[in-house]
Amino acid sequence: MRSLKSPTVKNKSMGLSCKIGRYRHGRLYFRLYHHSLPNGSSWEGTRWKDTPATRREAEVLAARITEEMTSGIFDYLEHFPNGNKAELFRQQRGKTEPKTIRQYYDIWKADKIPPFVKRTREQKYRSHFVAHILPIHGEKYMQAYGMAEIREIRARLIDERHLSVKTAKNVLNASLRALFRDAKAEGVIPRNPFDDLPSKWWPKGVDRPPDPFTEAERDEIIRHFDQKHRGTWAMGCAFMSALFWTGCRPSELTARRWRDYDPRTGCLTIASSRTLGEEGAPKTSGSNRTIPLLGPARARIEEIRQLRAGPNDYIFMNKEGRPIDQAEFAKRHFWPALTVLKIRHRPFYNTRHTFISVCLSHGEHIKQIADYCGTSMAMIEKSYGKWLGGFASFGQALGERDPSETASLTSRKG
């Protein structure tokens, strides 16, 4: 269908105008000359018989339409809602102007902020678009975006900006794809080009296996924290111990408040997480759980429990009396401790890997571990398979462990 905005006006001598005429059957019609009309003109019939009264009324209306045309405010549908070209104008009105990625992003980002999305996601979107997507393809029109453009930006992210395949995949699949998904839902574009990607379009990445600390390293780290901080910052020591002895994600423990701990049963409820000072839902629906704390973790929490603590107070606080921030804790306390102890550096999250691998090595049932840690049996079998089969595979004699620390996940019911 031709554009309704700029067709050729065949009868230029008429200019922008509305004329009246009379059909052979005696009824009046309007003859329109305007650049918004296909071929520049249109006939619009009426039910008016040609009488002196109706002709005067038609001439007044024609003069008004002509004035609107010359003033640039003519609206065809206002005067001829059932006219010969009405359906074309309704279709045109329903369409939106083509937008570039940058233009739509400026609109789209308005509700990609807390509380509509997590702060971490907001930062990811902003970083991906500002640093990578907009500089490369910000001026590309969304309606013309296809497989060729996706292939091009992927190559440029990797070859020119030297991003890893995993990072480039996050930029495109997590951010640019979300932009096109919403644009399609809002009718800005007729289709999402990412829906055309084949299932194996991205090369398969290499998943790094879990890299837990040994039990000896775990005990050495906890002991170091006790020696350095227990007298002045017992909450920090309790936090470090709880990470190793619950297998919780750091974001889960930093969100715990005293209302989540039952001192009678020794159970801790995990129903939220905290990242960048913002609380939200746990990682998955299966992460909502209530766990019976093992002896070492429960003893540390009882040690810092105070009668004056309110139900909404956080269990683990930093030295300034604010909730512990996991990134700050790792940077200022955890990794420096590894350096002092000459223990090979690993991510802070690997306290969780340590708990799961130790449980497997001591023969705990996979289903019990999965429920306790808020994950799936399939994930444990896939990622931690080499720790299955008994304690010997972990490389440390059972007799070296403190008997008080060998309590089973299933035997500790509070």
DSSP codes, 343-366: PPP--TTHHHHHHHHHHHHTT--H
Q: Hey, do 101-196 and 215-405 end up sharing a CATH topology, with the first three levels equal? A: no
Q: What is the pLDDT of residues 160-173, one digit of tens each?
A: 999 999 999 999 99
- Return phi, psi of residue 17, to 5°: -160, 165
Q: Which residues of the chain have pLDDT under 50?
A: 1-13, 391-407, 411-414
Is residue 109 within 8 A of residue 121, CB to CB? The reply is no
Looking at residue 213, the DSSP 8-state letter turns out to be P
pTM greater than 0.85 (yes/no): no
| Rounded (5°) CA angle 321-326-327 | 115
Q: How many CB atoms lie within 10 A of CB 10?
A: 11
Task: Give the whole-angstrom CA distance, residue 65 versus residue 262.
Answer: 78
Task: Give the whole-angstrom CA distance, residue 293 versus residue 299.
Answer: 9
Tell me yes or no: is domain 215-405 CATH 1.10.443.10.
yes
Is residue 232 within 8 A of residue 284, CB to CB? The reply is no
Q: What is the mean pLDDT of the chain?
A: 86
Burial zone of 304 (CB within 10 Å; 0-12 exposed, 13-18 middle, 19+ buried): middle
Tell me yes or no: is domain 101-196 CATH 1.10.150.
yes
Question: In sequence order, which residues have a C-beta less than 8 Å from that of residue 392 and are 6 or more positions away?
Answer: none
Give me the residue spans of the domains in the chain. Answer: 12-94, 101-196, 215-405
Q: How many CB atoms lie within 10 A of CB 338?
A: 18
State which amino acid sits at residue 104: Y
Q: What is the pLDDT of residues 208-222, one digit of tens each?
A: 789 999 999 999 999
